[in-house]
Structure 1
Amino acid sequence: EERFGMPRHKSALLVVGSVALLSVISLLSYNAIGELRMGGRNFNDIMDYFSNQILLPVGGLLIAVFVGWAVDKSDSRDELASLNTAGYAIWHFLIRFVVPPALAVIFVMGVMA
């Protein structure tokens, strides 16, 4: 009941019910509702597109921006202690300046496809 004022057992049932509902819809998209299409895609195609073309690149972009710009440099250096100084400098440059634009391009190309 911490954040949303809902007991744990009710929130757990809500999550399990949501996952079960999505699973049943996914299963039925192979049979009973296989002909039901939105934008030329069935439910599984839509979920695949959403997860692979939207969630993965956006999640990676947010992680890269957070780690590159918000996390203290000493903290990331401690976590990457196995890298030598030059390796860490290269990683830090890449995570700040190369990875976010690359992921943005991947996101745009995926959405446009």
Structure 2
Amino acid sequence: MSKRFFITLPNPSAARGSDPELAFQAHGAEAFARELREALASPALFERWRDRQDDPDAVDPRLGEVDPDAGVRARQKDLVIDLEVDTTLPGEILRQRLRWLAGSAWQLRDVGET
């Protein structure tokens, strides 16, 4: 079952994870949406993270789950970016990807069924 997550980046310039190899590179609402969608739909971000672990083979492969049909829409109002994410991925996986991409500079506003 797909869920809809409402996420806010209150200060997009601060929405950068601690590891530059994993963090958002985006500037602008649509670029943030594209990068987040790619992080949910493709294993590339997970694989980069896993390869940086002390024992990559010991990483639980379920953490690399993807949703090729994930959708992300973005709106910018003043300096704030709102992201609306539709995905079948569990919330824990979405939060994990957001921590890699944005660090702690994001807020989960709401979750609903689609």
Q: TM-score scaled by structure 1?
A: 0.24
Q: TM-score scaled by structure 2?
A: 0.24
Q: Does 1 or 2 have the higher relative contact order (CA < 8 Å, sep 6+)?
A: 2
Q: Greater strand percent: which structure? A: 2
